[in-house]
Amino acid sequence: RPGLLVLLSASGAMLPVVCVNVATLLLARGAARERELATRAALGAGRRRLVRQLLVENVTVAIIAGVVGTLLASTLLRVIVAFLPPDLPRVGEIAVDMRVALFAVGLSLVTGVAFGLLPALRVTRSGHGSLVRSAARGTLAGTHEGRLTRALAAAEFALALVLVVAATLLARSFWNLVTSDLGFNTQQLVAATVAPPGFPDAAPALKHQFAARLLEQLEVTQGVEAAAVASSLPFDTGLFATNFAVENPPVTTPASNFSQAYLGVSANYFRTMGTSIIAGRAFTAADRADRPRVVIVSERLARLNWGDESPIGRRLRFRSDPRQPVYEGEQYPWFTVVGVAEDVAVRNVANGKAETLYLPIEQFWDFVALRAVVRTAAEPGAIAPRIRPIVASIDPLAPVSDVRTFEARVGDNVARPRFTAYLLGTFAGIAIFLAAIGVYGVLAYSMSRRTAEIGVRVAFGASAGDVFGMLFRQGLGVIAVGIAAGLPLAFGAAQLLSGLLYGVEPSSAAVLGGGALALALVGLAASF
């Protein structure tokens, strides 16, 4: 919902930018037709009739544009849908239906009336006699028109700055996401889900036997550097959290005794994933179901429950799940901490690293499928097709799904912020282009209306540099007013985006200043 509202607001901000450009063009077009309008007035056309004529022309253009734009949107929508995040709900229902078409054409009609009426009223405001006299002098558009067009161009710059700042914040946020330290190495890493028939209800011993056979086959596959099996992997949708009790806890906080994820993993899991063991040891083949219970905790979890003390040798147990197997007569046996692992991002990239518990796969009981993960020196795409035959050799009925590289899994995890950043960046680019056209049009229009004045200045000794400076300063004024008005708007928009940002402050002076500078440079180029 927040992402869709941001995109809706961005497209809403684009509408007045386009309309301001159209209004400026209509003002210039109306002024250029002053002789025609004066002739019509001389032949008896009243102001109402002249306004009606201009309005009908503008509305006709708006309706044609609305129809053509809707047809283009219907075509381009197929391209946009192809880039949508894969987990976005109801993607199949996204289409230009009759409601959307009527809304688009109706909006074009409304904006055609609203932004066509103002130029028509401005052009004909002087009345019959004044219109004819102004046409004779060729100076219909004067100070008021000049101020209006400059104000409209400044408004374009203000709105464009809002879009530029918003797009920059989201782009930086997306970059921070894709370059953040996840706690494991995604390169050359392939994962798959294996779910043998009846696996969720099978006895733990049968689950462990299947996992051991699968791991044995994966490790001897050509091109595999390391392999592991686990109950879950980072970014899995079925990742479970758990509560536990610490024996004689030196630290107790509301965040203690809770892990956002707990996984059953094979001995080679940490090497395969590229996750470091900071203290203690990793699991070994000796950590079997008939051996003392052991556990590895993440660094954050260790700090929450043991503070600055070493957790190695400390004990905890799971009191929230009676399904765990009894060990040495205990329903809830104690697990001894044998290692501390590097923190990893488990839920998603945006939430960052989280508290995690790891159990040996043979001592784990709470899994309904297996995750196979392999690291390869070869092309990951060449390893993926080999996983299915390996599973079929163990159980021909066991389905294999979600065979993907971990880079693809991370890519899907950041698909929504990536799509939002790309689309808003496109809006910002269009807005900059239109704002540049706006200031260019204002100065070109101003110069065309001041040709006689410029001629007089040159006759009295003004140089080309003097004339250039006079017009260039006018462009600078438009840019300065637009940016000054846009900065508080951009600051407010950035605060609304704060919930979508990662690793970047919404009030970043670098982003606000950089956006203003970039827009100023574009405006200066257009003015030049």
Q: What is the pLDDT of residues 334-364, one digit of tens each?
A: 999 999 999 999 888 888 889 999 999 999 9
> With contact defined as beta carbons under 8 Å apart, do 173 and 501 qualify?
yes
Give the span between the Cα atoms of 445 and 140, in whole angstroms: 12
What pLDDT was estimated at residue 292?
Answer: 93
Handedness of CA 483, 485, 486, 491 (dihedral sign): positive
Please say whether the beta carbons of 425 and 518 come within 8 A.
Answer: no
Of the given ranges (11-20, 182-191, 279-288), which has the lowest mean pLDDT? 11-20
Q: How far apart are CA 148 and CA 389, in angstroms?
A: 73
- What's at 422, amino acid-wise? Y
Which range is least confidently modeled, 15-24, 183-192, 450-459? 15-24
Residues 259-275, mean pLDDT to the nearest whole number: 92
User: Of 471 and 305, which is predicted with more confidence?
Assistant: 305
Provide the whole-model pTM.
0.74
For residue 151, what are its two tokens?
A: 């104000």
How open is the CA angle 154-159-163, to the nearest 5 degrees?
145
The per-residue pLDDT of the chain, averaged, comes to 85
Please give the backbone phi and psi of residue 342, each rounded to the nearest 5 degrees, phi first.
Answer: -60, 140
Sign (positive/negative) of CA torsion 120, 122, 127, 128? negative
Among 18-22, 33-37, 231-235, 487-491, which is the least confidently predicted range? 33-37
Give the pLDDT of residue 139.
47
Distance CA 149, CA 170 (A): 32
Higher pLDDT, 330 or 271: 271
Q: In angstroms, rounded to a whole number, what is the distance separating the alpha carbons of residues 526 and 27?
A: 20
- pLDDT > 70? residue 495: yes
The amino acid at residue 343 is: D
Q: Indicate whether 125 pLDDT > 70.
A: no
Identify the band that residue 133 occupies on the pLDDT scale cut at 50, 70 and 90.
low
Tokens representing residue 293 in the block: 């219970």
* Cβ atoms within 10 Å, residue 4: 11
Higher-confidence position of 122 and 257: 257
pLDDT above 50 (res 141): no
Q: Is residue 140 scored above 50 in pLDDT?
A: no
Structure tokens at 310: 């070493």
Q: Return d(Cα 206, Cα 212) in angstroms, integer.
A: 10
Cα 287 from chain centre: 44
Q: How far apart are CA 193 and CA 195, in angstroms?
A: 7
- Mean pLDDT on 158-163: 89
Confidence of residue 143 (pLDDT cuts 50, 70, 90): low
Provide the pLDDT for residue 339.
95
What whole-number distance in Å separates Cα of residue 214 and Cα of residue 233? 16
Return the pLDDT at 109.
84
Joined together, the tokens standing for residue 381 give 């795409």
- Is 417's pLDDT higher than 50? yes
Q: What is the pLDDT of residues 447-470, one digit of tens each?
A: 777 788 888 888 998 888 888 888
Which of 158-172, 271-285, 429-443 is least confident? Answer: 429-443
Mean pLDDT for the stretch of residues 324-339: 87
Rounded to an integer, the average pLDDT of 492-501 is 85
Residue 134 contacts by C-beta under 8 Å, 6 or more apart in sequence?
A: 34, 38, 126, 140
Mean pLDDT of 275-304: 93
Judge contact between 402 and 232, C-beta under 8 A: no
How much is the pLDDT for 360? 94
Report residue 394 as tokens. 């163990």
Q: What is the pLDDT of residues 42-93, one digit of tens each?
A: 888 888 888 888 888 888 888 888 889 888 988 888 888 887 877 777 887 8
Cβ atoms of 62 and 18 closer than 8 Å:
no
Could you tell me the pLDDT band of residue 119, with boundaries at 50, 70 and 90?
low
Least confident of 121-125, 253-257, 285-289: 121-125
Mean pLDDT of 329-335: 87
Which residues have a Cβ under 8 Å from the Cβ of 492 and sit 6 or more positions away?
A: none
Q: Does the pLDDT of residue 323 top 80, yes or no?
A: no
Query: Percent of the chain at pLDDT above 70?
Result: 94
Asked if 155 and 16 touch (Cβ cutoff 8 Å), the reply is yes
